[in-house]
Amino acid sequence: MNRLLAHLGPPLRALKGVLGNRPITRMELAFLLFNVAEPAMWVAILVYAFDRGGTRAAGFVTILLMVPAGILAPLVASLGDRFPKERVVRFGYFAQAVTTAAVGAAIATDAAAGLVYGLATLAAITYTTGRPNHHALLPGLSRTPEELAAANSVSSLMEGVGGTIGSIASTVMLAVSGVGAVYGLAAAALFLAAATMLGVHASADGRARDAFRPWFLLTDAWQGLATVVRSPDARPPVAITAVLTAAVGAVGVLTVPLALEKLDLGDPGVGYVTTMISVGLLVGAAASVVLAARRRLALAIVFSAAWFAVSAVLYGVTATVLVLTIASIVYGSAITLLDVLGRTLLQRTVRGDVLTRVFGAVEALWLLGYGAGAAAAPLLERWLGLGAAFAVCGGVMLVAGLAAFSGLRRIDQRTVVPERQLSLLRRIPMFAPLPPIDLERIARQLDRIQVPSGTEVIRQGDIGDRFYAVDAGSFEIVRDGTAIATAVEGDYFGEIALLHDVPRTATVRATSDGAVWALDQEEFLATVTGLPQAASAAHAISEERRRTTPAS
């Protein structure tokens, strides 16, 4: 029991901290309302299309809404890296409310179906601002990594609860009032979400932002995609997300013939499956409070992938409602765990100034991957049969988890709190203004280099490519052949060449066996110059050193 409490204590304290964090609480309430509106919107437009053209029309509308939204998601989401994120979230909810209300009005006035579909497509594009900017704002409002993990779990809980409320409410309103009323409900929820966000004011990050130009969104979106491709820390969780989206899209389609044909449950059976999956989402959100708070997530992610595979196998062998219920709950919980754990890894490892555009790329993956999986599902069923099709979905997810394990373990090794590095960075004035989460991320980027006595760490006149902090030993700083200073534990050097783009201004040589922590130029400049307080401190230090006792 004591061991159990020891494991549960930290995440529960972090969860309590989230509930006591007023800005995050308001954000989560707004996110709940967003998740009430989104499924209601989808149910309404699919019913509207089905009534006018049957299954073919419903499929056409699904593609019409998802493809443009998926393509534009990285561009729309990247607004959060150009403007204060809380403002983008507020504006996003307001834009969603206005476009959703416009669709409802068009339906209520019997406008042409083409106009309704066009407005619905526009609304679907505005919905892509919801998740990326919500998740990118959370790190700036969280006071510790554990609180951030707990906030992610609460966000998943809000998705599950909101989705369940939205699905039930839309079903009731379709029976009572019709499609237009469902859109009216969704618009009201989104207006309330925008109003709730008025109470959220994140601390200004102070990052220098260029004057906005619309074409910057293209470069921002491309940078987000490039970060996903180039970053060894971003690739594993994003790859798992890509496979997850396709598998979820396929399973979502395959559960329909499972309920209607194999189990002969009729139309209510499809609704029952959706409800049980929602229950699973809530179960997964509760479990993620404990798992996501861990510093090491690799095993938890692989377990979640295996859990997903178990659910797929259960679906494939289902012959009773009881097994169907268990499979749906397991499936829903696996989706939540994979989503929360992957998102937490991205928040821990991706730089804050590109985080929103990376989440925009992930949002695009969800939309396009889901569509691809849904399109592949009928082919799998036709070629392999229903049970084997489910097994393929589970197997692919399990293989993806196992294939990503080594990359996830490397990330885990860097996410252990680097106390030594943190203590050094906190004593360096140019890093002191950084938020705790950014400071911890930078600490993980440091490479420790052993330096034997007599070794030159940098040489006057060379091109600078790294910043250094002394971890142990003694180093003399030499300019033009004359020793001008000594650096010991806690001192630092190398910033002048990086900040001013000039050759090294001095030579630094070890006078005893020692060690230094090194930070690459790109990471140093992105961090220090991106925050005015840090940039001011860095430039003041470098100018003073150039006038007096320069060190690099």
**One-letter-per-residue 3-state SS of 255-287:** HHHHHHHHCCCHHHHHHHHHHHHHHHHHHHHHH
* Cα 250 from Cα 244, distance rounded (Å): 10
Q: Which token pair is 45?
A: 């437009």
HSE-up of residue 314 (Cα within 13 Å, Cβ side): 19
Residue 107's H or E segment, with its range, is helix 85-108
Q: Which fold has domain 22-200?
A: Growth Hormone; Chain: A; (1.20.1250)
CA-to-CA distance for 136 and 78, rounded, in angstroms?
A: 10
Domain 419-547 fold is Jelly Rolls (2.60.120)
The boundaries of every CATH 2.60.120.10 domain in the chain are 419-547
How much is the pLDDT for 6? 39
Q: In 21-84, where does DSSP find H-type helix?
A: 22-77
Does the predicted TM-score (pTM) go above 0.85?
A: no
Query: CA nearest 149: which of 296, 303, 11?
Result: 11
Q: How much is the pLDDT for 52?
A: 80
Query: How open is the CA angle 354-357-362, to the nearest 5 degrees?
Result: 125
| DSSP letter assigned to residue 352 | G
Q: Are the C-beta atoms of residues 390 and 373 closer than 8 Å to each other?
A: no
Residue by residue, DSSP assigns 478-532 as EETTEEEEEE-TT-EE-HHHHHHT---SSEEEESSSEEEEEEEHHHHHHHHTTSH
3-state secondary structure of 112: coil
Q: What is the pLDDT of residue 330?
A: 95
Tokens (6 digits) for 302: 């692989």
Coil, strand or helix at 471 = strand
| pLDDT for 152 | 76
Are 122 and 129 contacting, i.e. CB atoms less than 8 angstroms apart?
Answer: no
Burial 20-46 (b: 16+ CB within 10 A, else e): ebebbbbbbbbbbbbbbbbbbbbbbbb
The residue written with tokens 């860095």 in the block is 538
* Helix or strand holding residue 450 (H, E): strand 447-451
Q: Is the separation of the CB atoms in 145 and 440 below 8 Å?
A: yes
End-to-end CA distance of the chain: 56
DSSP state of 127: G
Count CB atoms within 10 A of the CB of residue 503: 14
What is the distance, to the nearest Å, from the Cα of residue 216 to the centroid of all Cα atoms in its chain? Answer: 21
Residue-by-residue pLDDT tens, the chain, 552 positions:
344 333 444 444 545 656 677 888 888 899 999 989 988 887 788 778 777 876 566 667 777 887 888 777 777 766 666 667 788 888 889 999 999 999 999 998 989 988 999 999 999 888 887 777 787 777 777 776 667 777 777 887 788 788 778 877 877 787 788 788 889 999 999 999 999 988 777 655 544 445 545 545 556 556 666 666 677 777 888 889 889 989 998 888 888 788 878 888 876 676 678 778 888 888 887 787 777 667 688 899 999 999 999 999 999 999 899 999 999 999 999 998 998 888 888 777 776 656 666 777 777 777 788 878 887 888 888 899 999 999 999 999 999 999 999 988 888 776 666 778 888 888 888 787 776 667 777 887 788 899 999 999 999 999 888 999 999 999 999 988 888 889 999 899 988 888 888 899 899 999 999 999 999 887 787 777 655 555 555 556 666 665 555 445
Give the 3-state secondary structure of residue 206.
Answer: coil
Pick from 483, 537, 227: nearest CA to 362: 227
Q: What is the C-alpha to C-alpha distance for residues 66 and 61, in angstroms, rounded to an integer? A: 8
pLDDT score recorded for residue 10: 45
Q: Choose among 295, 356, 336, 298: nearest CA to 146.
A: 295
pLDDT of residue 219: 65
CATH architecture for segment(s) 237-354+366-416: Up-down Bundle (1.20)
- What pLDDT was estimated at residue 4? 38
CATH code 1.20.1250.20 region(s) in the chain: 22-200, 237-354+366-416
Q: Which amino acid is at 477?
A: I
Look-up of token digits 């230094």: 516
Tokens of 226: 């490039």
